[in-house]
């Protein structure tokens, strides 16, 4: 008898039957408020009628076009639609299936385009689990331990983690940029460094927004040294942070943009975008894959983009994110176990610490479990698993945010009482 491998970890015991909007229903008909959104994927809510309709229509027309064999309309239309939302000039793109694959593709592109080897990432980064991406992932030992040797050429610089350092955002940013300069002058010479890869909000590493001055400092150094600035917007893209792209909270613009998750409302689709002149430096045929740009996924992505625009989901993410952050702060004010509340838009989190400031994963795990028992699905993150994050679909209403906050306040009381 086949069994599901025990190596998989499941954050909640839910056996999901059906999803609708911000709710998941289990096989016993119980309703769960889903503030995980499939790890920041179902931005338009579960089974948005317009996404369902577009996908259903496409299934009956063409499922698999195979874009290195033939071209198809949903893919061409999606390229055109993405042209409306991509940063100026960062508009030559191709598709893959997952965030990790797109990260791998960006490494390949950066090495081809610059002729250099090294990729600099920032401490706490998560860029995926495939072997190249794992070399760039520093969000916790479970992603790296026991699988080496990893891809050579990855160098790690500090990410401005103000709360962990106990410094201000300005001090943390100054420190991180000074250490990056030191890295480029020592272990990873600028002349050997192809790219910086950065998340506008450190995601799996603990939901820490990159200070705008940090991203701008990376841009300035990238320009000075001929290094590419690759923004991994897999989790922060498509309105999640209250701007269309997470990097739009700063003045810095990427050379290469990596997207996945929210792109197709749950269909496996990812993309990387860069200026055409940069893409031309890659070797033709060096990238691609059997399933990239699947026609049904492209049709779903097109509908997703239309829903984001028509329902002002970016604006809603900013409004509801502010409401969520405000409520989380009020709850934290009554519970010193929550040492920090932070986030951008609908990417919010609370970090649990002991009275002497050490990571408190046990209390975070209890609060996470208590919330699930009360019908609110959440996820943890951070190197020590002591950060509880909230990533609802971007269609969430103020009332649903208040429902979640009500449950969270009881869950924290259960966990700390
Ligand atoms: N980059 C970031 C910023 C992510 O958050 C993730 C997934 N959590 C990935 C890359 C990897 O994406 P995937 O799981 O689709 O491979």
> Measured from the CA of 100, which atom of ligand 1 is nearest?
16
Q: What is the pLDDT of residues 331-350, one digit of tens each?
A: 999 999 999 999 999 999 99
Ligand 1 pocket test: which of 106, 232, 246, 260 has the largest number of ligand atoms within 8 Å of its C-beta? 260
Q: Is residue 75 pLDDT above 90, yes or no?
A: yes
Give distance in angstroms: CA of 417 to centre of ligand 1.
Answer: 35
Q: Is residue 148 pLDDT above 90, yes or no?
A: yes
Cβ(293)–Cβ(67) below 8 Å: yes
Q: Is residue 210 pLDDT above 90, yes or no?
A: yes
pLDDT mean over 236-262: 98
Q: Is residue 377 pLDDT above 90, yes or no?
A: yes
Q: Does 177 sit in the ligand 1 pocket, CB within 6 Å?
A: no
Q: How confident is the model at residue 368, as a pLDDT?
A: 98
Q: How confident is the model at residue 46, as a pLDDT?
A: 98
Question: Given the structure tokens 């072997």, which residue do they identify?
Answer: 131
Calpha distance 73→299 (Å, rounded): 9
Cβ(405)–Cβ(328) below 8 Å: yes
> Measured from the CA of 130, which atom of ligand 1 is nearest?
16
pLDDT mean over 402-408: 98
Give distance in angstroms: CA of 232 to centre of ligand 1.
Answer: 9
Calpha distance 79→95 (Å, rounded): 10
Give distance in angstroms: CA of 100 to centre of ligand 1.
Answer: 6
* Nearest CA among 61, 89, 74 for reference residue 304: 74
Q: How confident is the model at residue 403, as a pLDDT?
A: 98
Cβ(229)–Cβ(222) below 8 Å: yes
Q: Which residues of 5-33 are buried (b: 16+ CB within 10 A; e: fewer)?
A: eeeeeeebebeeeebebbbbbeeeeeebb
Question: Given the structure tokens 């809603």, which residue do they identify?
Answer: 316
Q: Does 233 sit in the ligand 1 pocket, CB within 6 Å?
A: no
Whole-complex ipTM? 0.99
Calpha distance 178→235 (Å, rounded): 27
Q: How confident is the model at residue 199, as a pLDDT?
A: 99
Query: Which domains, from first to last, does the chain contain?
Result: 16-48+312-416 (3.90.1150.10), 51-310 (3.40.640.10)
pLDDT mean over 305-319: 98
Grade residue 417 by pLDDT with cuts at 50, 70 and 90: confident
> Measured from the CA of 98, which atom of ligand 1 is nearest?
15
Q: Are strands 228-232 and 256-259 parallel, antiparallel or unpaired?
A: parallel
Q: How many helices (H) and strands (E) does the chain have?
A: 13, 17
Query: In this structure, which long-range contacts are made by residues 47-50, counting pairs with CB atoms below 8 Å and at least 24 apart in sequence?
Result: 47/18, 47/19, 47/20, 48/21, 48/265, 48/303, 48/304, 48/307, 48/395, 50/303, 50/306, 50/307
Calpha distance 154→132 (Å, rounded): 9
Question: Given the structure tokens 């208040």, which residue do they identify?
Answer: 402
Does this model's pTM top 0.95?
Answer: yes
Grade residue 87 by pLDDT with cuts at 50, 70 and 90: very high
DSSP letter (8 states) at residue 389: E
Grade residue 187 by pLDDT with cuts at 50, 70 and 90: very high
pLDDT mean over 228-243: 98
Q: Does 99 sit in the ligand 1 pocket, CB within 6 Å?
A: yes
Q: Does 103 sit in the ligand 1 pocket, CB within 6 Å?
A: yes
Q: How confident is the model at residue 256, as a pLDDT?
A: 98
Cβ(124)–Cβ(159) below 8 Å: yes
The reply to whether omega before 145 is within 30° of 0 (cis) is no
Give distance in angstroms: CA of 368 to centre of ligand 1.
Answer: 22
25: which strand partners? Answer: 18, 31
Calpha distance 328→316 (Å, rounded): 18
pLDDT mean over 80-91: 98
Q: What are phi and psi of 208, to 5 degrees?
A: -115, 110
Q: How confident is the model at residue 283, as a pLDDT?
A: 86
Q: Does 260 sit in the ligand 1 pocket, CB within 6 Å?
A: yes
Residues with Cβ within 8 Å of residue 2, at least 6 apart in sequence: none
Q: How confident is the model at residue 337, as a pLDDT?
A: 98
Residues with Cβ within 8 Å of residue 267, at least 6 apart in sequence: 55, 294, 296, 297, 300, 301
Give distance in angstroms: CA of 141 to centre of ligand 1.
Answer: 16
Grade residue 284 by pLDDT with cuts at 50, 70 and 90: confident
Grade residue 119 by pLDDT with cuts at 50, 70 and 90: very high
Nearest CA, atom 12, ligand 1: 99
Give distance in angstroms: CA of 211 to centre of ligand 1.
Answer: 21
């Amino acid at each position: 008898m086949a069994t599901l491998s025990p190596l998989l970890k499941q954050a909640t015991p839910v056996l999901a039957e059906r999803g609708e909007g911000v709710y998941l229903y289990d096989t016993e008909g119980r309703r769960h408020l889903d503030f995980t959104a499939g790890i920041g994927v179902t931005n338009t809510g579960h089974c948005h009628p317009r996404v369902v309709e577009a996908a259903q229509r496409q299934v009956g027309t063409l499922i698999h076009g195979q874009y290195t064999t033939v071209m198809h309309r949903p893919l061409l239309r999606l390229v055109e639609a993405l042209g409306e939302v991509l940063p100026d000039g960062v508009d030559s793109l191709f598709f893959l299936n997952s965030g990790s694959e797109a990260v791998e593709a960006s490494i390949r592109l950066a090495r081809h385009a610059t002729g250099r080897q090294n990729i600099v990432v920032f401490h706490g980064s998560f860029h995926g689990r495939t072997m190249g991406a794992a070399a760039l992932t520093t969000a916790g030992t479970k992603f790296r331990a026991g699988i080496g040797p990893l891809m050579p050429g990855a160098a790690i610089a500090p990410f401005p983690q103000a709360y962990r350092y106990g410094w201000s955002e300005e001090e943390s940013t100054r420190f991180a940029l000074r250490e990056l300069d030191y890295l480029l002058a020592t272990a990873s010479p600028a002349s050997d460094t192809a790219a910086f890869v950065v998340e506008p909000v450190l995601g799996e590493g603990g939901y820490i927004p990159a200070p705008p001055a940090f991203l701008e400092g990376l841009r300035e150094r990238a320009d000075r040294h001929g290094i590419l600035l690759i923004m991994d917007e897999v989790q922060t893209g498509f309105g999640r942070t209250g701007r269309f792209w997470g990097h739009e909270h700063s003045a810095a613009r990427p050379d290469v943009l990596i997207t996945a998750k929210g792109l197709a409302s749950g269909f496996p689709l990812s993309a990387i975008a860069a200026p055409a002149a940069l893409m031309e430096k890659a070797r033709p045929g060096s990238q691609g894959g059997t399933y990239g740009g699947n026609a049904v996924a492209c049709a779903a992505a097109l509908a997703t983009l239309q829903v984001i625009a028509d329902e002002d989901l970016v604006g809603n993410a900013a409004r509801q994110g502010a409401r969520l952050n405000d409520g989380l702060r009020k709850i934290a004010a009554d519970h010193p176990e929550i040492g920090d509340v932070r986030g951008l838009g609908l990417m919010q989190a609370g970090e649990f610490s002991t009275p002497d400031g050490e990571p408190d994963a046990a209390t975070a795990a209890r609060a996470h479990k208590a919330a699930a028992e009360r019908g609110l699905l959440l996820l943890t993150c951070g190197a020590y698993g002591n950060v509880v994050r909230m990533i609802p679909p971007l269609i969430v209403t103020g009332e649903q945010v208040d429902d979640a906050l009500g449950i969270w306040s009881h869950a924290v009381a259960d966990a700390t009482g």
